[in-house]
Amino acid sequence: MELLCPSAKRRRSEDLAADEPQPRATEATEAANLGPATQSEEPPPPPPSEAAAGGGGGGGEDDVDRISGLPDAVLGEIVSLLSTKEAARTQILASRWRHVWLASPLVLDGTDLSTEPMAYRRDDKKFDADKEALASAVSRILSAHRGPARRFCVPPHFLQDRPATVDAWLSSPALHNLQELDFWERNDMKYLYMQPSPLASLPASTFRFSATLRVATFGKCELLDSSVEGIHFPHLKQLGLEDVSISEGSLNTIISRCPVLECLLLKHIFGFGCLRISSNSLKSIGVGADRRRDNLQFLQEVIIVDAPCLERFLYLGKPMTLTVISAPKLETLGCLDDEWFLHRRLVYDTTSIQGLKVVSMTTALSNVKTLAIASEFVNLDTVIELMKCFPCLEKLYVKSRISGRLNRWRRKYKDFIKSFDIPLKTIVLKQYRGIRSQVNFASFFLLNARELESMRLEVGASDCNEAFFAEQYAMLQMEKRASRGARLHFIKKLCTHPMYVDHVRELSVADPFECRC
């Protein structure tokens, strides 16, 4: 037996590697490369410090590729966390990676493969070509992939444009035991459809995954009563319906047959006006109404009949009436808005709030800890009345559009300050410009909230400088703050968008009112 010294072993392994054919892109890899690459296919050279430590080919022990030495199952899980396009490109890293993606858990997201919408904002031909390329890519990936199915996502317009193709995709063996199914598209793609598209029917093959689905989003479709009969979703935890026509009976049937459902997102629901919800498992609900389809009745009232685990209810968009009969754990509520004063109403136990105005209150709601409001102008009077309704409020988000009144408070609320302990720990003021009404509003809490830990002021780029910060620090009298532990944070962000939940997964994020645009 020939004994090799370490240097000889290295030379022998290098010779073998040189003789081995170089990895090349497979058909599935090429299918995933629809748009311009988001990063170079060649990894960048290591920085000098790493090269000096032996990672740059110096022949030391540290130049071993330890990641490639991991078991296939571990590598597959790593690859499944990447976008579809990036995951496919791992095949060209080295021969060791050539078959990892094809055997890893399949996460096929068509929104990852589409060209960025700005590229064809005014180019219908490019848009049509992109749809054709996307359909071809999805078909090729499904035919090549051998790993277990985890997520399958395609834009909902395929339901109308290519129903037979979608049915073939859903019938593919590659999607057996699928866990996540989305007929969904990013919010930045929705402007491409200036007029509402026809609502399509879901293929029968859609529900062959009902026994294994954990997450499902159905968009731009019609759910007929006959299609949901006998369907059970024993493992479904998150359900989103967007731009969907369905009867109240069918929606309640679906909810009742999801015994572990935790998150429910309803955006632009048509077919009935009032939904009564009873669920022992729901923790978070987001509802938004729209009038885009004038020929269909749209959802405009939700009644929470019995939801013992419900923790969050989020208003999304246009007017909606919410009546809460029983939801003892409801802690997060918003975004209450005065823009649709006559049409948005909250009835919770003995409390009635029209827009942002407290109409009646017999018993305070002590379980609500987080509240988000949006107003034409920042109004301290309104917030104080809401705090009386929600006396245990710990987090408050406020967005205003114009300056409005001055919010003078020292004389007006002298008795209130003496008799009411303000429990707020976190306050976020969006679109902060340092005008007098905002300064007076913020200083009221800084000088009187003894439990305050953080006040976050979201400012625009022109105000994001040390001079503005120092000026505001003085105007807000931070040296006299009631809570010595309170901190003032200036964040560069001037989002004018309403609160928007783009996908049902966002209902479970730690902070549902944090802007993610």
What is the predicted pLDDT for the residue at 187?
Answer: 64
Q: What are phi and psi of 13, to 5 degrees?
A: -65, -35
pTM attached to this predicted model: 0.82
The CB density around residue 250, as the number of other CB atoms within 10 Å, is: 19
User: What type of residue is 23?
Assistant: P
In a domain, 60, yes or no: no
What is the predicted pLDDT for the residue at 30?
Answer: 59
In a domain, 321, yes or no: no
User: Which residue reads 């081995």 in tokens?
Assistant: 20
Instruction: Report the sign of the C-alpha dihedral through residues 374, 378, 382, 384, in that order.
Output: positive
Closest CA to 346 of 395, 289, 389: 389
In a domain, 381, yes or no: yes
Closest CA to 326 of 269, 364, 276, 289: 276
Q: What are phi and psi of 153, to 5 degrees?
A: -135, 125
Question: What 3-state class would DSSP assign to 279?
Answer: coil
Conformational region of residue 248, where left means phi above 0, alpha means psi within -120 to 50, and beta covers everything else: alpha
In a domain, 159, yes or no: no
In a domain, 5, yes or no: no
What is the predicted pLDDT for the residue at 349?
Answer: 85
User: Which residue reads 């944070």 in tokens?
Assistant: 489
Helices (runs of H) and strands (runs of E) counted in the chain: 16, 21
The radius of gyration of the chain's CA atoms, rounded to the nearest angstrom, is 28
In a domain, 395, yes or no: yes
- Domain containing 394 equals 369-516
Closest CA to 509 of 356, 311, 358, 226: 311
What are the DSSP calls for 137-163, one per residue?
Answer: HHHHHHHH--S-EEEEEE-THHHHH-H
In a domain, 188, yes or no: no
Closest CA to 153 of 173, 175, 129: 175
The pLDDT profile of the chain, 517 residues, written as one tens digit per residue, is 333 444 444 444 444 444 444 445 555 655 665 543 333 344 444 444 443 344 444 444 556 777 878 887 888 888 888 888 888 888 877 787 878 888 889 999 888 776 555 444 455 677 677 788 889 989 999 998 888 999 999 989 899 889 999 999 999 999 999 999 999 886 655 544 545 678 899 998 999 999 999 999 999 999 999 888 889 999 999 999 999 999 999 999 999 999 999 999 999 899 999 999 999 999 999 998 765 666 778 888 999 999 999 999 998 877 788 999 999 999 999 888 876 555 678 999 889 998 888 999 888 899 999 999 988 888 899 999 999 999 999 999 998 876 667 888 988 898 899 889 999 999 999 889 988 999 999 999 999 999 999 999 999 888 999 999 999 999 999 999 999 999 999 998 766 665 668 899 999 888 888 776 6
DSSP state of 97: G
In a domain, 13, yes or no: no
User: Which residue reads 């026509």 in tokens?
Assistant: 245
The total number of structural domains in the chain stands at: 1
